[in-house]
């Protein structure tokens, strides 16, 4: 819904949901002030009527979520829920122009080094990391896992388990976002304002999106990075099991194995068979 709004509306929302990425205290202040800010910043009269109406409904729903998250038994979980919701919203309304601007700022130091093979490989990784960071939250897996965690006791979230939940959500988001956008690039290519990470990958790296070799290259890099993350998750799960005599948690290996089925929902000519860890 948010991603389909007109440019002016999306620009307003993008500015509204922007979070400071470096100062944790400032981020906390922004999150706590958001319900009041949404209430005090009405939609512009220049917006179409349906956008103004939906904006009012949206702000009411956000406030319901925010105050419901206050019921979380663990203060760290409460903060994680509230911050994750804003990150999801920012990902949904970010414009293609701003994604490209962020990427160019991030890549300019590497681009100035030259055009060697090592620089090319470094650029590929940085572009994918940047696109995932800005766009993967459209899949909202971390938010769903954090909501599910509200039924757990405070003791169940001790130590590194909250970070573990976030990392697990990141795995699903990266896998889902990549599979979806590679499959839907032809459709999104006809929409000037569409945020599609495969099309943006090709635009930044000056590649032809119609060349299936570029699809395979992006998927191969995504597989490589997600395999590294999956192994880290399995090792973290094992360490938590060894450190607790009353360990009751997810079947992480089975969950990661099931995650590979995400691509089956997006039929494509490109098929890379990644073996489960």
Judged against a pLDDT cut of 60, whether residue 197 lies above it is answered with yes
Return the percent helix, strand and coil in the chain, to nearest 5: 75, 0, 25
Confidence grade of residue 240 (pLDDT, cut at 50, 70, 90): confident
Residues 6 or more apart whose Cβ sits within 8 Å of residue 178? 132, 197, 198, 218, 219, 222
Confidence grade of residue 248 (pLDDT, cut at 50, 70, 90): low
Query: What is the per-residue DSSP string for 158-207?
Result: -TTHHHHHHHHHHHHHHHHHHHHHHHTHHHHTT-TT---HHHHHHHHHT-
pLDDT tens sequence across 136-192: 999 999 999 998 888 877 777 776 888 889 999 999 999 999 999 999 999 999 888
Pairwise pLDDT comparison (42 vs 139), residue with the higher score: 139
Lowest mean pLDDT among 16-25, 228-237, 248-257: 16-25
**270 near 219, Cβ under 8 Å?**
yes
The arithmetic mean of pLDDT across residues 207-222, rounded, is 92
Q: What is the DSSP letter of 266?
A: S
**209 near 202, Cβ under 8 Å?**
yes
């Amino acid at each position: 819904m948010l991603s389909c709004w007109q440019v002016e509306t999306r620009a307003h929302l993008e500015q509204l949901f922007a979070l400071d990425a470096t100062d944790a205290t400032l981020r906390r202040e922004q999150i706590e002030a958001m319900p009041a800010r949404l209430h005090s910043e009405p939609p512009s009269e220049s917006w179409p009527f349906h956008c103004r109406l939906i904006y009012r409904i949206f702000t009411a729903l956000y406030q319901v979520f925010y105050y419901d998250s206050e019921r979380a038994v663990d203060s760290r979980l409460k903060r994680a829920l509230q911050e994750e919701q804003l990150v999801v919203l920012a990902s949904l309304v970010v414009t293609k122009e701003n994604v490209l601007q962020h990427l160019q700022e991030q890549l300019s130091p590497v681009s100035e080094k030259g055009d060697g093979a090592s620089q090319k490989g470094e650029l590929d990784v940085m572009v994918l990391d940047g696109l995932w960071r800005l766009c993967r939250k459209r899949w909202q897996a971390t938010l769903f896992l954090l909501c599910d965690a509200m039924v757990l006791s405070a003791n169940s979230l001790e130590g590194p388990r909250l970070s573990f939940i976030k990392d697990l959500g990141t795995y699903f988001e990266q896998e889902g976002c990549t599979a979806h956008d590679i499959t839907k690039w032809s459709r999104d290519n006809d929409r000037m304002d569409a945020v599609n990470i495969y099309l943006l990958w090709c635009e930044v790296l000056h590649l032809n999106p119609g060349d299936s070799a570029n699809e395979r290259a992006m998927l191969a890099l995504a597989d490589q990075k997600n395999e590294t993350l999956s192994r880290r998750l399995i090792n973290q799960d094992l360490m938590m099991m060894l450190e607790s005599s009353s360990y009751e948690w997810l079947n992480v290996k089975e969950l990661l194995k099931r995650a590979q089925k995400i691509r089956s929902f997006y039929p494509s000519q490109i098929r890379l068979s990644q073996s489960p860890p």
